[in-house]
Chains A and B, each alone.
Chain A
Amino acid sequence: MNFDFSDEAKELGEQARKLLAEKAGTGPARKAMADGAPAMDAGLWKEISELGWTAARVPEAHGGLGLSVEEVAQLAEAAGGSLATVPLVSTLLATEALVLAGTEAQQAKWLPGIASGEVIATVAWSEPGAVNPANVKTVAKGGALSGVKQPVADLPVAHVAIVAAAGADGPQLYIVDLKGADTATVETVDLVRRHGKLTLNNTPAEALGDAGDYQDWLDRAAIILAYEAIGTAQAAMAMSVDYAKTRVAFGQKIGRYQSVKHKCADMYIKLELARAHALHGVAMIGTNGAELRQAAAAARVASLDALAFCAEENVQLHGGIGFTWESDCQFYYRRNRALVAALGPRGWWADRLVRALEQRNRAAA
């Protein structure tokens, strides 16, 4: 048994964390929040594309590096920790769909551009009134889609969207070229990451795989997003721990008070559980393991639990200063909402986990 990232993947993660710590972080995030700020950090995007981050998962035949999902997980965690205003995770999620379910022609059309960084991709399942990815109302008919997708992360800067819509056998993915598409910016609780609204009105679209592929992609997306959430939660915890070591009240560091200390311990516990399940998910993708569905759902739920707890208690632990506009606490607090919205709520995923366990038990019986 070897239940750990490869050294190469860890190295890439280390490189990514270092670069993003230098170039991104809460300072740039604050600038991105200002009115009229650009929707992404184009300079940083160029740099990370040149470093091959967007090419990581793209097969070599299509101009990529052909790396494993381990590298993708490391990049997502680094992105989550840095709040970097680049559409990296959106592009990674879309890439995963193309790699998983794309035909040779679809891959040849989109992946080289993604690998080089020229093409920015995103995924769109959410709709007004929809609360979970199994329930989409956008319809596919005769090679075109109709419906409204929002909020869609990074839509304002994306060139292509992988869209979930109701097909003949249930929801499945479609590729929509955004050139000439009807897109608009939507405001969200997260003031750093741009989101958009995509109005589909008999808009041409190509089916990407089938309904089964959509379910498989959801598993993979859950794991990649779990790593992003873990990165963000870890950053919030680090902020709390630092503050607990310096802030003084009643003549001592607040970190000496157990209600503070035990909060931090609980952050750590929740993060470790999330890491364990997320790594299980990565291992299941890598080995085509039978426990992928349950691992993915558990990773999703555990990572959302960790993020919600770390983000909320981080504000609490800072007291009044934590509630100010100037404090960095708000970034993690708001990003928590973005990452829930990114793939549907905890409750739906917890139920999906139980369904996976039931299925496994039936199979074993």
Chain B
Amino acid sequence: MDFNDTPQEAEYRATVRAWLEDNASEYRDPPAESWKLPEFIARSKAWQAKKHAAGYTGITWPKMFGGQGLTPMHSIIYGQEEGRWHVPQGLYSIGLGMCIPTVFTHGNPEVIQRYVPKALLGEEVWCQLFSEPAAGSDLAGIRTKAVKDGDEWVIDGQKVWTSFAHASDFGIVVCRTDPNMPKHKGLTMFIVNMKAPGVTVKGIKQMSGGSDFNEVFFDGVRVQDSHRLGEVGNGWKVALTTLMHERLAVGGKPRYAPGYETLMKLAKGVEAPDGSPAIGASDVRQKIAQTYINDQGIKLTQMRALSALSKGQVPGPEQSISKVVVAKTMQDLASFALDLSGGDGFVAGSDADPELAKLQGSYLGSAGLRIAGGTDEILRNIIAERVLGLPGDMRPDKDTPFNQAVPV
């Protein structure tokens, strides 16, 4: 066993590190104030283009799709090194992490040629149009419909919770093309132009105060048949490709989320009930230990998966444990730390201590992370069913034609 980089890995790391030193210097410190959307987009695009020119985008993608054809280890090394800098991030994680891999797995050659390079360059932003008001966990219950008209399809319906739809140029949208089939069978996936006539994006304000996700309305939106991903009626399978990539993309702990170190630092400055520094209190120390065990345990689990990968094994649904653990650990830690800091942890805005404000952000954000990309409950189902082989839930509507399902 060897935790150190192999000579090749070390060389790659050194190259990346030197490149970041030369190119990321403006991001050495966190921004004094968080960027407003237009600045965030402009900075994201500029940074992506810079990375692209240097060969640090699509690190694991096949060369034929404009990628670097390198290993997941290279990608991790790049991520670790970039993680030391406060570069803009997040704008492309859905597009490049999930949508584009779906496009190059299921799209035709012209579509791939048209969309993949521009996405990688960061010129075009993508979103994932899956969830609807009546279908989230139960994704196969979506109602947005697509009807064939000549060699075009006409889309009508509504999506919701679409992250970054307001900043996106394109999206992948799953639609119902045959309501006479059972729910999983009548679905088809398309690429849709977010600027096309009939697409309306309305921002939704989140609990946390930000507005990263949206409602998206489709009113007679026309899509060429060439922009279909996969066969007609095969949309569920195509969606599973996306969701598989989603598990890899949204697995880990968000880069800036507070961890055990935050609690350790905080606990030196606040009092335990008996007036002594809280860092000596047993419950505080137990929480520090538990946070380390969960967060570090997930990192190590990912390294185990990576080692398996480098030996030619495929990482399985085991990766599902990552988000379940990380999101809840974030929430527990933030909640505990804010408890510990009493009123100071409650005062917000410009009156708040910056470290405590971060914990407040984590307290609010983690609630969304437990839902996004598969809820805690759905992920436990996946672990139980796919890893442990337990029987599936009762799904009474599974085999009924979608348009005959009895409303409950």
Contacts and interface: CB of A to CB of B under 8 A. Distances in A.
Interface of A: 1-6, 70, 241, 244-245, 252-253, 255-256, 258, 260-262, 264-266, 268-269, 272-277, 279-280, 282-283, 286-287, 289, 294, 297-298, 301-302, 305, 347, 350-351, 353-354, 357-358, 361
Interface stretch (B54-62, B81-89, B388-396): B388-396
Contacts of A297: 289
Interface in B383-403: 383-385, 387-394
Contacts of A252: 391, 394
Contacts, number: 156
A305 B292 CA distance: 14
A3 B290 contact: no
Contact of A1 (B2, B298, B324): B2
A244 B391 CA distance: 9
Interface stretch (B188-196, B202-210, B299-307, B332-340): B299-307
B311 A3 contact: no
A269 B325 contact: yes
A282 B388 contact: no
A6 B1 CA distance: 7
B307 to A, nearest CB: 4
B275 to A, nearest CB: 20
Judged by DSSP, the binding face of A is helix
Contact of A241 (B286, B294, B304, B389): B389
A298 B307 contact: no
Contacts of B5: 1
Contacts of A258: 377, 380-381, 393
Contacts of A265: 380-381, 383-384, 388
A1 B306 contact: yes
B102 to A, nearest CB: 27
A3 B307 contact: yes
B1 A264 contact: no
Nearest to B379: A265
B285 A261 contact: no
A260 B380 CA distance: 11
B133 interface: no
Nearest to A69: B1
A351 B285 contact: yes
Contacts of A244: 390
Interface in B251-310: 260-261, 264, 282, 285-286, 288-290, 292-294, 296-298, 300-301, 303-304, 306-308, 310
B391 A4 contact: no
Nearest to B390: A255
A282 B1 contact: yes
A283 B1 contact: yes
B304 A268 contact: no
B350 interface: no
Contact of B321 (A6, A241, A268, A358): A268
A357 B292 contact: yes
Closest 9 CB pairs of A and B: A276-B300, A273-B297, A350-B289, A255-B390, A261-B384, A265-B380, A265-B383, A283-B1, A4-B307
A283 B383 CA distance: 27
B392 A256 contact: yes
A357 B307 contact: no
Contacts of B4: 1, 287
Contacts of B324: 269
B138 interface: no
Contacts of A2: 1-2, 307, 310
B318 interface: yes
A357 B264 contact: yes
Given A350-B289, A353-B292, A4 B388 contact: no
A302 B73 CA distance: 27
A256 B393 contact: yes
B6 interface: yes
A287 B2 contact: yes
Interface string B101-127: 000000000000000000000000000
Contacts of B288: 354, 357
A143 B334 CA distance: 53
A229 B290 CA distance: 18
B285 A350 contact: yes
Q: Considering residues B294, B307, B321, which has the most beta carbons from chain A within 10 angstroms of its beta carbon?
A: B321
A4 B310 CA distance: 11
Given A256-B393, A273-B301, A353-B292, A3 B380 contact: no
